[in-house]
């Protein structure tokens, strides 16, 4: 008898692809509570939802993570908590062995998710940055940090990794008032690395500090959701206490559009903030699958971003 072969390519994508949500870690048969309203909206409109075990994926067990995804599902979109780029590739491989595949390919996910992947494309639109590959728990010595800082303009900077900052620990683990102060720079980076623990993504990044202002009555940052190079939804940043967003002039949006299209990733978010001189700047780029939605945004507005369709009653 000939051995059974494992499918390595996904079947054709159905008109409305299945969306993979993270399972609730306390009840594996339901969607994680953070994404439950989104999933209910999709199901009510007739879309298919399947569950992924995020904890198993992060632990390196991609096969167990996708055990609940029906075989032969075809093209799927992921929607859930952030996944390290290497684990995302493992997720895609495990899905392909079940006759499914992520519609956002692993290389596209990495480009949008990690700063070194998108920075060059957005360099004219975002604060000057430099980075140093760093393992979790590893603090670069002052000499290496000084060489890294030399690539930025003089003045203040922000510390982050390839994906996240610790802006809620602004003074101790994020903001460096003066890059020329080697002691302060090393102290802030050390604290950042300590707090990130095993979740430090890729390495240490220094970003030139730019002064931003919140438009009157609106959120300080606008999250723009892009599908296939087009802006499809404008929301407040999920951390904002204000849900209203300011209108971004076309002269400021057009170069961002060009950069998103050059990045060539199908589902992208850009966080834009108004600099004190009146210019809108890109402060962060991300993959839309793992970008959070402001709590006061109607999940129905999000439907088309995940399915290519409009839900009933939404135009």
**What is the number of other CB atoms lying within 10 angstroms of the CB of residue 77?**
22
- What does the alpha-carbon distance between residue 296 and residue 9 come to, in Å, rounded to a whole number? 39
Residue among 103, 101, 100 at smallest CA distance from 72: 100
Residue 176 has pLDDT above 60, yes or no: yes
Residue among 191, 211, 209, 187 at smallest CA distance from 200: 191
DSSP 277: T
Q: Which helix (H) or strand (E) holds 12?
A: none
- What does the alpha-carbon distance between residue 186 and residue 181 come to, in Å, rounded to a whole number? 9
- pLDDT, tens digit, for every residue of 286-298? 999 999 999 999 8
DSSP 101: E
**Could you tell me if 207 and 128 are in contact, meaning their C-beta atoms sit under 8 angstroms apart?**
yes
> What pTM was estimated for this model as a whole?
0.90
**Could you tell me if 179 and 127 are in contact, meaning their C-beta atoms sit under 8 angstroms apart?**
no
Instruction: Identify the band that residue 15 occupies on the pLDDT scale cut at 50, 70 and 90.
Output: low
Residue 312 has pLDDT above 70, yes or no: no
Residue 283 has pLDDT above 80, yes or no: yes
Instruction: Please compute Rg for the chain using Cα positions.
Output: 20
Residue 305 has pLDDT above 70, yes or no: yes
């Amino acid at each position: 008898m000939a051995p059974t072969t494992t499918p390595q390519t996904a079947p054709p994508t159905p008109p409305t692809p299945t969306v993979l949500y993270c399972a609730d870690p306390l009840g594996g048969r339901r969607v994680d509570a953070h994404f439950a309203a989104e999933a209910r909206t999709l199901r009510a409109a007739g879309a298919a939802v399947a569950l992924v075990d995020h904890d198993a994926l992060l632990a390196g067990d991609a096969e167990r993570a996708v055990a609940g995804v029906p075989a032969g599902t075809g093209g799927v979109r992921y929607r859930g908590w952030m996944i390290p780029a290497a684990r995302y590739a493992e997720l895609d491989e495990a899905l392909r062995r079940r006759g499914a595949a992520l519609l956002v390919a692993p290389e596209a996910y990495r480009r949008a998710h990690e700063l070194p992947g998108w920075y060059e494309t957005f360099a004219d639109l975002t604060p000057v940055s430099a980075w140093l590959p760093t393992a979790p728990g590893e603090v670069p010595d002052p000499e290496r940090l000084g060489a890294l800082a030399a690539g930025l303009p003089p003045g203040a900077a922000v510390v982050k990794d390839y994906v996240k900052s610790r802006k809620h620990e602004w003074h101790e683990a994020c903001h460096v008032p003066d890059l020329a102060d080697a002691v302060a720079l090393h102290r802030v980076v050390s604290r950042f690395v300590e707090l990130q623990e095993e979740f430090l993504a890729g390495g240490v990044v220094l970003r030139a500090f730019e002064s931003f202002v919140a438009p009157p009555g609106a959120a300080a940052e606008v999250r723009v959701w892009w599908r296939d190079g087009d802006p499809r939804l404008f929301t407040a940043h999920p951390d904002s206490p204000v849900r209203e967003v300011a209108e971004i002039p076309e002269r400021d949006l057009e170069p961002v559009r060009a950069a998103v299209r050059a990045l060539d990733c199908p589902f992208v978010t850009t966080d834009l903030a108004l600099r004190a001189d009146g210019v809108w700047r890109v402060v962060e780029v991300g993959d839309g699958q793992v970008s959070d939605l402001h709590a006061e945004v109607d999940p129905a507005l999000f439907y088309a971003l995940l399915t290519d369709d409009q839900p009933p009653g939404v135009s």
